[in-house]
Structure 1
C-alpha cells in the first residue's frame, strides 16, 4: 500500500516525469497525495524527502525503499538551517545539475536548508520568460541563486540580481554559466533589497519587470526587521518607484498567515492609482492546499 501511494503520485505527474526538459518537480505533496506530513521532490536522479518531524523518517523509508535513487531527508524547520541527511542509496557529495523547462540549475545537498531552486516557482519563472522581450530589463530581488534572473536573461533581458549573500550571488553566476550566459553582460548587487530600491529610484533606473519574493521574516545589518504581514506594502511601493512605464511586478509570498485576498489588499494599498492584479496558481504537482501567493501586477 505504501509503495502504491508513491507510484500513484508518480503516475499523476507522468508528463513531468517523462520530460527530459524538466527533471526537478514534486513527486508527492503531503495530504494532496495521501501522505500527510511528507513531501517528496525529484531532483534530477535523486530524491529529497521533507518531513515536519523525525518521527516520519521510518515511514519515508517504507514508501521509498523500492525507488532506485539516492534519498535525502530534510526536517522542515527553518530555525535549524541544517543540510538534509543521507537516508538511503548512494551518497551524493558533490553539486549536481537539474533541468527546468530546458534551463539548467546547480543543486546541492550540502548547501544548508535550501538546495538551489524553489520548485513551487517553476510556472512563474516560465511565465516571466514569456513576459520579457529582447532588450528589456529585469530586477530580481531577494534572488537566492538567481533562477528568475536566468530565465530573464534567456528571454533577452539584461538582469540585475540582488541578494544579501555573496555565496548565493556566486551560485547565481554559476547558473548563468550553466546556460551559456556571459555573466559580464549582467549585473549583481550584494546587499539589502530596500537599500538598492531606494538607490535605483534616486538614480532614475527603471526596470521592465521586477520580482519580489522576500522571506517572511528578515533582519538587515542595522537590526531593522521586515515582516511580510505588515511590511509588504512598503516593499511594493519602493519597487513601483523603479518600474518602467507599462512594466510588470511579480509579487510573491509563502506566508501562511495571509490569504490571497489579504495579500492583494496589501498590494493595492501601495498604489495611489488602480492597478491590474492577476493571481497565479501553484504548479500542478503541488496538490496540497496552496500556500504560495503569486500576483502579477501590471
Structure 2
C-alpha cells in the first residue's frame, strides 16, 4: 500500500519527517536522544518551533496546501499557525487495522457495520472506515476541522459515502445518541488533554473521560466489534488506557501499545501517544 509519510530522524527534542516531497522539522520533546543522521536535517523544506512563540522558518515554501497518501488515505496538508499540518501519522497503523477489521467483521456478520469517530480531527480514520464500506459518523467540535475532513473525503472519492458529519460537543452528542437509540459496531475516541466544545464547553481529560466512556458504553451495538481509546496526554500510558476500557467489558480481547512515528528500518521509532482497544472476539 502506497504511503508517502516517512520519519527521517529524531533527536535533540525534534523530529524530521517527509510528507510527500515536503520535509518538515518540528518539536518532539520526547526525542531526548541525539540524532542518528545529522546530515539529513539540512534538507528540511521548513521548520517550526515554539521558542519565544509559534514560529515557522521557510513557511513560504509550504504556503499552499499539498496532498499525500497516508496508509491508503489521501490527506490534504497545510502548515497551520500552531505547527499542525492536518494529520497525525502515528495513528496510521490504527487506520489500517480499523479498515481491515470492519471489512472482516462485515463479511462475517453479513451486513455493513456502523463506525463512530469521536474527536475525529481531519478524518483519516473515518475515511479508512468508509473505504471498508462502513456507515460512518464523524464528530469534532471544530467546524473548520470537519470541513477539512469533508475535503479529504472528496480527495478519496468518498463524497457519496454514508458519512454523517457532525460539529458538536462530544458529551452532548453522545447523550442525544443514547436517547435516539443509535448504536455503533466500532468506536474510536481520541480525547484531548484540554479542549473546547462547539459552544465553548470545557473538556479536560481528567474530569470528562470517564463520563465519555460511560456514554460510549451505552452506544455500542448489541454485537459490537471493537472500541479503541487513544491519548497524547502524559501519564495516560497503554496500561492506563487498557484498564479504562476493561471497566466496561468482561469478555473479549484487550490489546494496547504506543503509537509510533516510523521510517526505514535503520531509523529509531519515535513514540507519540498511546492506544488501547477492546475486541469482541
Output the TM-score relative to the length of structure 2: 0.82
Q: Does residue 48 of structure 2 align to residue 73 of structure 1? A: yes
- Number of equivalenced pairs: 260
1:90-129 correspondence runs (5 A): 91-110=61-80, 112-129=82-99
Residue 203 of structure 2 corresponds to 226
Q: Secondary structure at the match of 1:246?
A: coil
Q: Deviations over 1:4-33 (max 9, x none)?
A: xxxxxxxxxxxxxxx8x111232223xxxx
**Cα deviation, residue 76, structure 1:** 8.6
Q: Does residue 237 of structure 2 align to residue 259 of structure 1? A: yes
Tell me which of 27, 31, 36 is aligned to 2:8.
27
1:200-279 correspondence runs (5 A): 200-220=177-197, 225-247=202-224, 248-269=226-247, 271=248, 273-274=250-251, 276-279=253-256
Q: Secondary structure at the match of 1:257?
A: coil
**Cα deviation, residue 66, structure 1:** 4.8
Contact 2:73 2:124 in 1 (8 A): no
1:39-58 correspondence runs (5 A): 39-51=15-27
Q: Secondary structure at the match of 1:205?
A: coil
Q: 1:221 to 1:285 in 2, by over 3 A?
A: closer
Tell me which of 156, 160, 170 is aligned to 1:193.
170
Residue 13 of structure 1 corresponds to none
Contact 1:95 1:106 in 2 (8 A): yes
**Cα deviation, residue 74, structure 1:** 3.6
Structure 2: 5+ residue stretches without partners: 30-34, 107-111
Residue 151 of structure 1 corresponds to 128
Residue 177 of structure 1 corresponds to 154
- 1: CA distance between counterparts of 2:4 and 2:198? 37
Single out whichever of 152-161 and 255-264 deviates more from structure 2.
255-264
- 1: CA distance between counterparts of 2:228 and 2:96? 12
Q: Secondary structure at the match of 1:207?
A: coil
Q: Deviations over 1:107-136 (max 9, x none)?
A: 001464311110110100110000113521
**Cα deviation, residue 101, structure 1:** 2.6
Contact 2:20 2:68 in 1 (8 A): yes
RMSD value, Cα? 2.8
Contact 1:144 1:168 in 2 (8 A): yes
Q: 1:97 to 1:276 in 2, by over 3 A?
A: same
Q: Deviations over 1:129-166 (max 9, x none)?
A: 00113521111111111111110110111111101111
Q: 1:137 to 1:111 in 2, by over 3 A?
A: farther
Q: Secondary structure at the match of 1:290?
A: strand
Q: 1:65 to 1:160 in 2, by over 3 A?
A: closer
Q: Deviations over 1:21-52 (max 9, x none)?
A: 111232223xxxxx221111111111111136
